[in-house]
Each structure stands twice: as C-alpha cells, then as structure tokens.
Structure 1
Amino acid sequence: MDRQPSSSTEVVVVEEEAISLSKPIEETEIAKEVDVVRIQLTTEELIAKSIAPVKTQYLRPPPQRSDAVDNVDGGNKKSVSSNVTKEKKSKRQMKRERQQEQKSALHICPAVAKSGNVGACRYGLKCRYSHDLEAYKVQKPADIEGTCPFLNYEGPCPYGLACRFSSTHRLEVPADPSEFREKSSEVNGLKKDVQKLLWKNKMSFPKADDQLKVLGLLNKSKTKDVEVKEKAGDEPVLNGSCAECEVIDPEVEVIDLEVDVSMKECCPEVPVEEGILDNALAVDHPQPSKKAKIAVINKCGSNEKDNGLDPLKEGSQDIHAQTEVQVSPTDTYYSEADKSLKIHPREKKLVDFRGKLYLAPLTTVGNLPFRRVCKTLGADITCGEMAMCTNLLQGQASEWALLRRHSSEDLFGVQICGAYPDTVARAVELIDRECQVDFIDINMGCPIDIVVNKGAGSSLLTKPMRIKNIIQSASATVDKPVTVKVRTGYFEGRNRIDSLISDISHWGASAVTIHGRSRQQRYSKLADWDYIYQCARKAPDTLQVLGNGDVFSYLDWNKHTSECPELSACMIARGSLIKPWLFTEIKEQRHWDISSGERLNILKDFSRFGLEHWGSDTKGVETTRHFLLEWLSYAYRYIPVGLLDVIPQRLNWRQPSYCGRNDLETLMASDSAADWVKISELLLGKVPEGFTFAPKHKSNAYDKAENG
C-alpha cells in the first residue's frame, strides 16, 4: 500500500523548494544532484525537496553526456558543440529558398495532384506550382506505413497523389454507404471576401463603434476622417452601404428613408450576415437630422437586438413594421437606438461552467488536434489558442486559424488578447459575426514580454480603468458571454484581483478565471489557491469564478472544489499536456496506471487528427510532426503511477533518471529531443534530411543547442 506524506510537511517545504517547469535549467547538474540525494534521503525528505520518489528498482544513473550534444539530421546523429546555435537565415535567403522550392517538381499543384490530370488546374501556365506529374512521382518520398486518414470518409482523398499514404487509396468507391465514417467538420474559417475587406481596412463595426461612442472611447481620428469625407461629398460606409454601387441587396428593402445620408444602395463587397439586419442608425455623422423617420424590413426575419424592433408576431396586420426615432441635434454620441443595442444581462446566453472540466487555452500545444484528443478523454469545455486582436483585424490567416473549431467541440470558446477597448470590441464583433463560438474569453494574464510590452495581457493588471473599458465595450457589443482570464497581480506580493472581483461582474463579464500566480512569478512556486478562494468568496452570485494552477490529479480537483464551494470549477492547463487522461481520472475518481501502449495509442490518435487538420501530404505530415514534438517536450515529464512510492505525482516534482517497465516506457521518459524524434518516426515515418527541432517553450532537455 502506497504511503502518503503528512500534508503539513509537504505544503510548507515544497513551497520553498518548488521551481519553474518552464525555466531553463542545467539538466545534467540537476540529474546528478537528484541521483545523489535520492540515495541519501527518505521518501518524505525527497518530497520536501520536490524530487519524485521513484521506486529504487527503477532508478538508474544519469546518462553520461559530454560537452557535445546529439543533433538530429536526417535520422543520423552527429556531434555538435554545445555552444553552437542554429544559424539564423536572412529574409533574402529564406525568400530564395522558397522560390527554389516552388520551382521544384515536388511543389506539385494541388489540383493536379488531386485529379491526376494536368488540365485540372484553371490557371494553366500561370500557376506557380509544378504540373510535371512524372517528375513528381520520381522524386516523391516513400509512402508512410499506415492508412490514409481520409480513407473511410466519403469521397476521394483531397490530396490525391500528394498524399503520403496514396498506396492505400481505394481504386473503387464501395457501394455500401455504411462503410464510411461520419465526416468530421471544422468551422470558423476566414472567408476571402472578409479577408480582403480587412486588408483594405474597409470592414465596418457598427455595434462596437456605437458602444464605444456611448462610453466615450471612440477613436477621435476616425471621427475626423469621416467628417472630412462628408465635407468632400463622399458618403461614409455603413456596414457595407455606399452610394457608389449600383447593386441593391435583394434581401433588404429600405422604405421612406429621410436622413442626411442616402442609403438606397448596398455595397456588394461587404457581406451581410444572413437573417440579420444591420442597424441603419450606426452611422458616424456629426450632425444627424432632427427627425429620422426610418422603416426597414428584413425579408429573412428581423432582429430586435440589432435594430431595436420587436419581432413580428403572428397575426400582425402590418408586416411593414415602422418606428420613429427622435434624435437630438446636440446629442451626437447617444440616442435611443444606441440604448437598444446594449443587451440586458438577463438576455445574454450563459455558459454554465460549474463542475465542468475546462481545458485551458494553451499556446502552440493547445491546437485543434490536441483538443480533439482531450475531448475523447473527457474534457467538457475547450478553448482555442490565444489570438491577438490586431492580427485578427488585419486579416492574418495564421491568426484566424487559431479560431478553428471541430464538430466534436460541443462547448467551445475562443480567447483573444488586446490592449485597447476599440480593438477588443471590434474583434469581438467580428468573431461574433463570422465564427460559431459559445463564449469569448479575454486574456488579461499573459506574462509573455512581447505581449506585455504592447500593453496587453498582464500589463492590464496595472490599469484597472482600461480593464473596465475593455470589458464594458466587449460585453455590450455581443450577446454571447464574455469571460476574463487574469493572474493574481502584476508584481509578486501585490495581489489586486480581490479588489476588482465585484467590479468585473458589474462591468459585464460572465465568468473570470484566476491563475494563482503573479506575472512576475511566471510559473515559479506553487499556485496560491488560498487567494483564489478569497476572490471566489468575494465575487457576486452572478459571476462564476474558476481557479487555475497545479491541478494534476483528481485529488487536487476534489480538494479545491470541496474547500471552496463558491468556486465554479478548475481550469486544467499544463497538467493536461503532461497527462491528457487527467480528465478521465477526474471523472472516474481514480489514479490511472496507464501503460506505454495506451499512451502510444493516444499519440496515434493525435497523429491521425493532425493529418486530417493539417493535411496528409508532405507539408501536412511535417507540420503534424512538429506539433507532436512540441507536445512530447511536455509529456516526457509524466512518471507512471506504478513506479512511484507515493502517489499522485505533483506538478512541481523533478524526476530522477529512471527506466520504465518496458523499452517503450523508457523511451517515453527520455528528456532527449532525439528520443522524441524517434517516437515521431514510429507514427509519421522517417524525418526528412536536415531535420532539426527546438521546443518553442525551451523545455529542460539535454539536447538544447539544436534539438531542445
């Protein structure tokens, strides 16, 4: 029977000795130190020093490593000096390499590869891809063992000859539809017409701008630009309406409109959301007329949240419902129509976080395939990776990819980060208009320097009025719940969220997640759950409070939820990266001594999900490999339950050098990036020539010059 240390000894000493799992450390020195003290100290003393109490029979001396490190190059190892870093390529060199790659026969046209017909490409000779099928077949890398991830879906593989599993493609489509799996689907893609409008800075945000005007936060420079255009005779764009176009939107009919600005035509470049009528009063003109008699009909159905009109009731005699709005000539920023835009808190759709397992938004590793893995293992709520508002508003495709949602994610939110109320409010409106999400989370706790230096993330913790303006403008713009994620404070020892917790609710947030560390702490020391409890008890009943930090077993979950009933749930972050089956353990209330084979099956699922998401061609395979390796740079920290003298494992424990119960378990416990690459080769075939890998988060690994 496993021994459990006394809680008092564990808590007091662990807090003194805990270290950051993300802070770079000389691993060779740590391994030697851990190996020495492991022999001399008892189990309780090891735990007090944050060293994992691995059973003696599984311990082994740390591997002998010289000053040179192993560099992975095409599957072959070569010695490289430890002070050698990866050569940084110039932009000109990278551009030259891209041009050479495009001229290569391996850069086959997707349309030609899918159909096997050179004439399938509509661009012909102007296409920037190669159309030489015979040369491509000669140079194409060998197929990977396994079956095509799209084999059991209806229709042919979308990558055709370029698929690295093309040898498994069916020559004939089976007649029985039952042989096909239900096709998985992804939503929240960036439409080309929307992207072009964002590129040209022609997208309008009527709801956000109205709320910013009400709060007095609208960018004055934008108002001046509109005034200049009006004086010059140019009419401002009204969410896609302008007088230069000759096409009238057939879905919207405008009747008896008497305002200063003509709105009889609609610009075809700006898409109007189906079934929703844009507010006709959301125009930035400084001197509106005293009387604006407006009657607007949406043939697809009116929306009372957009224009302030009551929905048409059955039996109504006048289907052309009209409303008269009196606009004061002195009040240019506030009107009755502006009041109607603000959604009453009772009308908002709420998300119940209570008792649900919430997978935290995780940068880089919290991608869509990883979230799918966590959903299969019991996660209830998922959230996309943090996206920067400025990048979204600029139409960057790479940033919009972070908002993608899979059909299996039944309760899904996106997380955004911005420094100013106008950018956040407009990004929120754009997401609400273009994406299918259940809630929008605003990150006010990101500790990364590049984010903080721009005034976003944790920097907002020093600006309470900025926090107020961001939450108020965002929550009033959309009817979806707006949540907030914060840290305890900016500086260690200066916690301030407890003084803002009631205000956060009054400003319009539906829930707040508190990470129990300050920005200055990053991930060092244990999370301060006592302070999280204090904030949860101060919060009003209308605000759901979630805790975050060091949840690594079902005992941690039970402890936090039982000690503070006011706490709605716990957010699970790094614990899910080290053992994603943590969700299963919490739901089944057990410590799962998972075998190496079961862990490999989870990695296989991730690889299959990754190939479906990023593609089964060479580029998709290598992208999947990259994110798999990023995940393995966390997952190696897991210590199997059967190898520990004391369970469960704590998140801040340093593992000594040990061997597993079989070769695969030993390989998975390795902290060498070269061994992580070996695991990827079991799933995705051999790495290409010249392959190197360095974890983005700079994890503690021996091979850190080129491989982590």
Structure 2
Amino acid sequence: MDGASAELAAGEPKISEEPPSDGGGGGGGGGGGVAELTPEELVAKSIAPVKREFLCPPPTRTCSDDADDVDSKTKKSALSSSFLKEKKSKRQLKRERQQEKKSALHLCPVVARSGDVSSCRYNDKCHFSHDVEAFKAEKPDDLEGECPFLSAEGPCPYGLACRFSGTHKDGFSGEALDGRKKNSEMNGLSKDVQKLLWKNKMKFPKADAQLKLLGHMNSKNKKLSDKEDDNQTTSNGSPATGENGCLEVAGDSNNQMDQQLAEEDASDDHPFASDEVRPLKKVKSSVDEIDCPNEINNGVSVLEKDLEKSSSHMESGTTTNYISIETDKSLKLHPREKKLIDFSEKLYLAPLTTVGNLPFRRVCKVLGADVTCGEMAMCTNLLQGQASEWALLRRHSSEELFGVQICGAYPDTVARIVELIDQECTVDFIDINMGCPIDIVVNKGAGSALLTKPTRMKSILQAASGTIDRPITVKVRTGYLEGKNRIDLLIEDIGKWGANAVTIHGRSRQQRYSKLADWEYIYQCARKAPDALQVLGNGDVFTYLDWNRHKSDCPDLSTCMIARGALIKPWIFTEIKEQRHWDISSGERLNILKEYVRFGLDHWGSDAKGVETIRHFLLEWLSYTCRYIPVGLLDVIPQRLNWRPPSYFGRDDLETLMASDSAADWIRISEMLLGKVPADFAFTPKHKSNAYDRAENG
C-alpha cells in the first residue's frame, strides 16, 4: 500500500484505497445495523466503514432496564444542556459586566503587573479592584506548566493575574510589556488611525482618485467632499477654528465622539479602564450598505431574472488604463506594474470563520501549510474602526506568505479599505470574498450576492486593483443558484478587471455545503482562464490522493485551497507533502492541541480572560476534529469528507473521547489543557459543525 503509515505495515488486513461512490446519503447508526453491512455497502450509503471490532454494540433492552435507561439518558441530556449558552438580552449582559467589575477578581491590570496598589494613577476612580489580598484569595489555582512569557525580554505583562504566576521569577513583575509578542505579531491598528475612523475624518486619496477615474464619484460624493474640505480649511488654506481657537467639528455626534476620544486619551496608559462597548459612529459612504430587497429578499424568482438579465447584458471586459489624470498627484503617472504571487503547488490554508484564527494558522504552518489567509473581515466594520474586526487582520512572523480577506458590496467601500490595509498592514495579497453564502452577508449585497451582479463585480475589482500595487485575488462560488453556474462566463473577464488569482469553491450559494463539490466545473473554468489569471480549486480536499487527483486531472489548476479538511485534521498538509496517510495517534493529536494552547497563550494572554478565550476557540475547533476517524480503524481508506461515522470505540480512552460529538466531552478535553471551567461556563458551537452539511466554513 503506497504511502501508508508504518503502523499499518504489518499485522493488518489488506485495505482498499478505492475512492467511494458519490451515491447514497444515509447516516451512521448503531453498531448492530452497520456491522451487518459490507464495507462497500457502507461506502455506498456514505457511512464510514469502521472495522467491526471497534464498533459499539447496540444497546440491549429489557423491561426492567427501561427506567434505568430513561434515567441515564436524562442525566446525559442534563449534562450536555448545562453547557449550552442561554441567549441573554443586552441589558442582562451589561448588568453582568457591571457586577464583574465590582468583583475582587477584576483586579486593575496596572496593579496586577506591578503588585503595588499606588501604581494606578486613577486611585479610587479606577473601575477595577485594587484589593490584592482579596484577589489572591479568590483567584483559581495556577495551571500546570510555566508562564509562556518567561523567555521574553522583560516581565510577564499580566503579573499577579497570570494563571502561571507561581512560576514567575523573583522580580518578575513591572510595567514593561511583552517584547516577544510585539516582534512576532503585526498589523495592529494604531490609535491615531482608529480615532480618525471613529470621527469619519480618514482620507483616502488613492481610492477616491481611482473611483473618480472609473466614474463612481457622483455629485453627492463631490458635495460631501467639498463641504468637508470647507469645514476644515478657510479660504486662505488655514484650518478653520472656532472662538476658542480649536478646530470646529460640525454636529452633536462628532462632539460626543470628541468627548469619547478625549476620555480615551486620558486613559491611554490604562487601556483596560472600561469594558463597556464603545458606540460606533456610522461611516459615511458614497453608497449606503443597505439591504438589497430587489436582489435578494424577493426570493429565487427575482434572482433568476437577475441572472438571465445580467448574462444577456454582460459587458465585455476591458483592461482599465491606470494612467492617472495629470491634475491628480495621488496616482502614479505611468501604468502600474503589479507585484505577482505564484500560488502553483503551494499548500493554501483557506480563510476560515471563527476557527481560522492566528494560533490555528500557526499550527497549520508548523504542519506544512505554505499560504495562510486571515478570517473574512467586513469592510463596513473596518471603516468604523472596530478593534474586533481589525484583529482578524493580525499576522504572525511565521506566516511567510500571508493575505487578508475582506468582504464588501460596493466599489467605494472596498477601494478605501484596500488603500487603508495597504497603508497600515503588512500583507502579501488582499482577497475579496464574493462567495460567502451566509444570509446576513448576502442580504447586504455582498458575498455570493455579487455573483448576480457582474457589472458590480467588475467595478469592485477595477477599483481595488487600481488603488494599490499589491496583488488582488477573489474567492467565488460556481454561481448563486444550483444548476445555473456562471463563473465560466466571467472567468476571462475577472483577470482583465484586475484580479491576479481566483479561487473557485465548487458549490453554488444555494447549495451551501451539501453534496460534493463540482470539480469538473472547476477544471472547465481553469481551462478557459487567461494565462495571467491563476485558478485555485476549493472543496472536499481531505487527503493527499484528492490533491494528487485534482492536480493531475487539470494541469491548468494552480493549486487547491484546503478548508474543512484542515479543520478536521490539520496534519493534512503533512500528509500531502509526505504523500502518505498518517495514522496519527491520540497522543500526537493531543500534542497538536497543546501546541495550539501555547500559541493561544502567546496571542490572547495568560490571565483568566485570555485562558477562557483560548478555551472558547479550542472548543469551536474540537467541534470539527471529532469528525476525524483514525486510519487504523477503517476497512477502506482514505476517509471521505461526506462520510458519517457510526458509533465506535477508539484504540484507547483518549481516542474514544476525541471521537465524541458531545460538547461535554469537548469540555473535558479542554480541562486537560486549561484546567477546570468556571462555575457559570456555557458553550454552544457557533457553526454547529457536527451537523455535517451545515458548516459555514470551507
């Protein structure tokens, strides 16, 4: 058996590597019914053919056992439901935050770092507790292991609040922040830029010039721009000032924002002085990002009309001349020479919502990923200066080839964010998402909704690519409606509009993640694409055999993007590079989780808040990894992404625990790595990924 791991080399029965048929759709069941079927019959029903000796026997029922059975089911249901999150109102969440501030566990970060109560310059006005002794009395026990910041230059940035404070060396406290994190992570949003975004005073000269060149700057934009300029400068070019000599800001909302910013300035040295969510000012845009009822909300019939209309009136793609107007000095006076990235043969980790965070990407880099991309960020949120959205653009120094993915519905919004990212961040490429199927995105006219509007796709790509020199890539689906693929009609134009590469997910928006990806259609698009446009395929890549088959079937394909396959088994990158099925042990899988926790402590922090943040994202990830079936347990390899596993035992207790689809068991795994969960802990998977065909990633 070529490429099989050494664990299967001896003492195992012959294993077939024939790929399963795509038919069937039955799920797994109890061990009794499954054990009666042959491996071929199980594969035909999309049930994983687990070896009979590992199948769980069907439960035996007797009349006397009925009461005990019901009681055990009730207890198990109660245990699982105890970890489910309750939906809380905003008022209830605010009340809980206020109560948390009064808790002794909410120790002032400045006091925690220094150990000196007098070190906080706010004294009694500080929102946090200064009772060090009460904090020590209520603080949970330290976690096993050493503080992740011991090897850093300077003290631990969390001091007494660190969950590993017992391992701190003498004098290992103070005001200095962690230098290692500053050096290893980049793409943070500066406060000066954030304030400009909050006040809607950020300038986008390159984007506005390109939009004007393309004819997207209408009279309304010009009036707003002229009015803004008049408010900021007098006729002689000096800043307009009020009676007190300060810059005038029109509108009460701007005055309120000024007051907020002044308070922020006063607390720069005390960044954690308040946990309240800052109200964000809506960003003015040349076109409001509103719902698109005519495009989306009227149902499939309207979309079909849009598809037919846009197909019949599709504009022929022409390459935009990026020579700037002589009167505009913000653009170069010669055609732009784009920087190029060669994606050929590179292992590309897809941008993954929620789970594709920086620590997860670091794990995948260690396991062999070549290209990484940040989670999808919404342009409107980025323009509002939302810190949580900008955090999605963070990059680690180990990510050698890194891109960010943005999502917007209109060319002006996308162009301005592209310019801002190019100015503030260190990235190798910017990917524009035109394939997201989530309703909240599509109903705003972004994501997959753009597949029904090729003219707007053209405007967005031309505006983005004409604004910066950095490569622009785009991610799409085959089409909006199932059975009405359309990317093959646009593939030649996408390159002319300014994209350097396009990733095609082999499913329609309507299809979401059900059924198998249509790779034949991806091949068709790759063959029609111009030489300058790289085509990447995406969908159901789960083994090195999948990778090899797609590359051999279509040499025009640059590479394959790996999404859910990496969520379920991140060592897929190792398997592809080493051309083998890795029969990874439960201990090796646990070591990967330990590595993730170590990276998480470095990224989110080692205090209680950081630890619980790591636990949350770890549990989200475990909701995918439970779908992996060890190679040594299968009668037919490799595992397919659409197989449903029957109930089975692992080769040891840990492997059995890792195969559980119960949130309570995922929490047990998290407690092995991060200690006991808090008393009021609750968790519900965001994407409900254990409902196989409803995952929002990939």
Common topology (TM > 0.5): yes
Name the counterpart of 2:590.
600
1:419 and 2:409 matched? yes
CA contact (8 A) 2:343 2:559 kept: yes
Q: Flag the 1:62–1:638 CA change in 2: closer, same or farther, 3 A.
A: farther
CA 1:186/1:48 → structure 2, altered by over 3 Å: closer, same or farther? same
- What is the aligned partner in structure 1 of residue 34 from structure 2? 38
SS of 1:384's equivalent in the other structure is strand
How is 1:262-281 mapped onto 2 (pairs within 5 angstroms)? none
Cα offset for 1:184?
5.8
Residues in 2 aligned to 1:31 and 1:701: alpha-carbon distance in whole angstroms: 13
C-alpha contact (below 8 Å) 2:100/2:106 kept by paired residues: yes
For 1:42, the aligned partner's letter is T
Matched, 1:498 2:488: yes
| Alignment correspondent of 1:383 | 373
Give the match for residue 145 of structure 1.
144
Identify the residue that residue 197 of structure 1 maps to in structure 2: 196
Give the alignment of 1:234-383 within 5 angstroms.
Answer: 235=233, 243-244=239-240, 335-338=325-328, 341=331, 347-383=337-373
Change (3 A) 1:413 1:343: farther
Give the aligned residue type for 2:149: F
> Are 1:471 and 2:436 matched, yes or no?
no
- Matched with 2:103 is 104
- Whether 2:51 is the aligned partner of 1:55: answer yes
Please name the residue that 1:4 is paired with.
16
Shift of the 66–349 alpha-carbon distance from structure 1 to 2, 3 Å rule, reads farther
How far did residue 678 of structure 1 move?
Answer: 0.4
Equivalents in 2 of 1:209, 1:218: separation in Å? 8
* Aligned counterparts of 1:583 and 1:631: Cα–Cα separation in 2: 17
2:557 matched to 1:589?
A: no
Q: Which residue of 1 aligns with 2:310?
A: none
Q: RMSD of aligned C-alpha atoms? A: 2.8
The SS at the match of 2:441 is: helix
Q: Which amino acid aligns with 1:17?
A: G
Cα distance in 2 for residues equivalent to 1:569 and 1:67:
53
Instruction: Read off the aligned partner of 1:573 and give its amino acid letter.
Output: A
The gaps in structure 2 that reach 5 residues or longer are: 1-12, 61-68, 173-178, 243-261, 263-322, 693-698
Match of residue 641, structure 1, among 621, 626, 631: 631
User: Structure 1 residue aligned with 2:24, among 14, 17, 29?
Assistant: 17
Matched residue type, 1:498: D
Cα distance in 2 between the residues matched to 1:396 and 1:203: 14
User: Does the Cα contact within 8 Å between 1:439 and 1:483 map onto a contact in 2?
Assistant: yes
Return the alpha-carbon distance in structure 2 between the equivalents of residues 500 and 113 of structure 1. Answer: 58
Paired with 2:224 and 2:238, the residues of 1 have a C-alpha distance of 16
- Call closer, same or farther: CA 1:169–1:214 in 2, change over 3 Å: same
Change (3 A) 1:6 1:94: closer
Change (3 A) 1:342 1:46: farther
Rounded Cα–Cα distance in structure 1 between residues aligned with 2:356 and 2:228: 45
Distance change (3 Å), C-alpha of 1:419 and 1:649 = same
Question: SS at 2:78's partner residue?
Answer: strand
Q: Tell me: CA distance 1:620–1:590, structure 2 relative to 1, closer, same or farther (3 Å).
A: same
Provide, for residues 208-237 of structure 1, a one-character-per-residue CA deviation record: whole Å limited to 9, x for no partner: 00000011112532311233456x675399
Are the counterparts in 2 of residues 2 and 646 from structure 1 also a CA contact under 8 Å?
no
For 2:166 and 2:80, locate their aligned partners in 1 and report how far apart those are by CA, in whole Å.
42
Report the residue type matching 2:163 in the other structure.
R
C-alpha distance in 1 between matches for 2:475 and 2:77: 45
* Amino acid paired to 2:618: L
1:67 shift after superposition: 9.5
Indicate yes or no: 2:472 matched with 1:460: no
C-alpha contact 1:5 1:44 (8 A) present in aligned 2: no
Q: Report the counterpart of residue 253 of structure 2 in structure 1.
A: none
* Deviates most, 212-221 or 534-543: 212-221
How many pairs does the alignment contain?
586
Deviations 1:532-557 (A, max 9, x none): 00000000110010000000011110
Q: Structure 1 pair 558/31, CA: closer, same or farther in 2 (3 Å)?
A: closer
When normalised by structure 2's length, the TM-score is: 0.79
Counterparts of 1:156-235 in structure 2, within 5 Å, are 156-171=155-170, 185-228=184-227, 235=233
Contact 2:55–2:649, Cα closer than 8 Å, also in 1: yes
Opposite residue 422 of structure 1, the aligned amino acid is D
Residue pair 2:499, 2:533 contacting (<8 A) in 1 also: yes
Counterpart residue type for residue 490 of structure 1: Y
Could you state the TM-score of these two structures normalised by the residue count of structure 1?
A: 0.78
Using the TM superposition, give the Cα deviation of residue 339 of structure 1 relative to its aligned residue in structure 2, in angstroms: 9.1
Q: Report the counterpart of residue 699 of structure 1 in structure 2.
A: 689
> What is the one-letter code of the residue matched to 1:4?
S
User: Is the 8 Å Cα contact of residues 85 and 682 (structure 2) preserved in structure 1?
Assistant: no
Q: Which structure has more strand as a fraction of its residues?
A: 1
Instruction: State the distance in 2 between where 1:405 and 1:377 align.
Output: 17
Could you tell me which amino acid in structure 2 is paired with residue 61 of structure 1? P
> How far apart are the structure 1 equivalents of 2:666 and 2:495?
45
TM-superposed CA distance for 1:181, in Å, is 8.8
Give the conservation status (yes or no) of the 8 Å contact 2:32–2:57.
no
Distance of 1:136 and 1:340 partners within structure 2: 55
The whole-number CA distance in structure 2 between the counterparts of 1:391 and 1:521 is: 28
Which of the numbers 511, 523, 545 marks the counterpart of 1:521? 511
Q: Secondary structure at the match of 1:425?
A: helix
Aligned positions of 1:69-88 closer than 5 A? 79=78, 86-88=85-87
Q: Provide the rounded CA distance (Å) in 2 between the counterparts of 1:336 and 1:2.
A: 73
Q: 1:667 to 1:479 in 2, by over 3 A?
A: same
3-state SS of 1:514 partner: strand
Which digits, 9 at most, give the CA deviation of each residue in 1:57-100, with x for residues without a partner? Answer: 111136798599789xxxxx782797997542221121111111
- Does the CA contact (< 8 Å) of 2:383 and 2:417 recur in 1? yes
Q: Whole-Å Cα distance in 2 between the matches of residues 405 and 559 of structure 1?
A: 32
Q: SS at 1:550's partner residue?
A: coil
TM-superposed deviation, 1:442? 0.2
CA distance in 2, matches of 1:381, 1:662: 35
Cα shift at 1:18: 4.6
How far apart are residue 444 of structure 1 and its match? 0.3
| Fraction of identical pairs, as percent | 73
Is the 1:357–1:569 Cα contact (8 Å) retained in structure 2?
yes
Distance 1:537 1:200, change over 3 A: same
Give the 3-state SS of the residue equivalent to 1:619 in structure 2.
Answer: helix
Q: Which amino acid aligns with 1:347?
A: E
Question: What secondary structure does 1:209 align onto?
Answer: helix
Deviations 1:139-185 (A, max 9, x none): 11111112111122222111000001111112267xxxxxx999861
- 1:252 is matched with none
Change (3 A) 1:124 1:56: same
Cα 1:521/1:243, change in 2 over 3 Å: same
Q: 1:133 is matched with which residue?
A: 132
Task: Tell me what 2:64 maps to.
Answer: none
Q: Distance in 2 between matches of 1:367 and 1:172?
A: 33
Which residue in 2 is equivalent to 1:621? 611
Asked if the contact 2:429/2:472 (under 8 Å) is kept, the reply is yes
Secondary structure of 2:128 counterpart: coil
Structure 1: stretches of 5+ with no match in the other structure: 20-29, 72-76, 174-179, 247-268, 270-332, 703-708
Aligned to 1:632: 622
In the alignment, is the contact (CA less than 8 A) between 1:554 and 1:589 conserved in 2? Answer: yes
In structure 2, the CA distance between the partners of 1:233 and 1:98, relative to structure 1 (3 Å rule), is closer
SS in 2 for 1:386: strand
